Amino acid sequence: MRLFLALDFPGSIKQKLEQNINILRADIPKGVKWVETENLHVTFRFLGESDPIILDDLNSQIENVTKNYHRFSITFSNIEVVPNFYRPRIIWYNMIDETGISQKVFHDVEMRLVNFGFKKETRPFKLHTTLGRVKYVKKLDWEAILKKVKPFHETIICKELTLFKSQLTSSGPIYSIVKKYNFKQTNIK
């Protein structure tokens, strides 16, 4: 099964994100595969194809990390076209964690995954929410398009890390929750 770890959102946040995706879609009608509203999340760590037999041990490893960290908040920042306007591949919201907890959680999860036999992540950790994957587009005035998007600086309280299974289909991926790993409670609600 194909697995990844993510920070999930409440439905109300996903609906607000969908409004900005629709604004972008109006100016970029072709060439971008937009993320379905129900699939919006903060990417944390892609695990890839994994044997279901490892799930109990994997769950134990991740729980041993999350139980050591308090809940934390992350804030939506600006929309970025990655890597740049000239070679667009992904359109995403940059996310900010002023506490630095997400980076520590990622580091600890990464160490456990590598010790568990997963390949080490080579890309730097970057909190983000993918809105769309660019397949092809003609030359666009990205700055003008991005200015049309409504300001979105919502803050999310991260109460848990979620393990998702991703089933690829011809109409797009279908995500299902495998397990949620709770962070320690704090006075943040």
**Catalytic residue IDs:** 41, 128
If one counts every other C-beta atom within 10 angstroms of the C-beta of residue 63, the result is 14
Separation of alpha carbons 52 and 75, rounded Å: 34
Residues 6+ apart with CB under 8 A from 135: 31, 32, 33
State the DSSP H helix or E strand holding residue 47, giving kind and residue range, or none if neither. strand 41-49
User: With contact defined as beta carbons under 8 Å apart, do 164 and 4 qualify?
Assistant: yes
Separation of alpha carbons 187 and 189, rounded Å: 6
Give the residue from 39, 20, 46 showing the smallest Cα distance to 126: 46
- State whether residue 67 is helix, strand or coil: coil
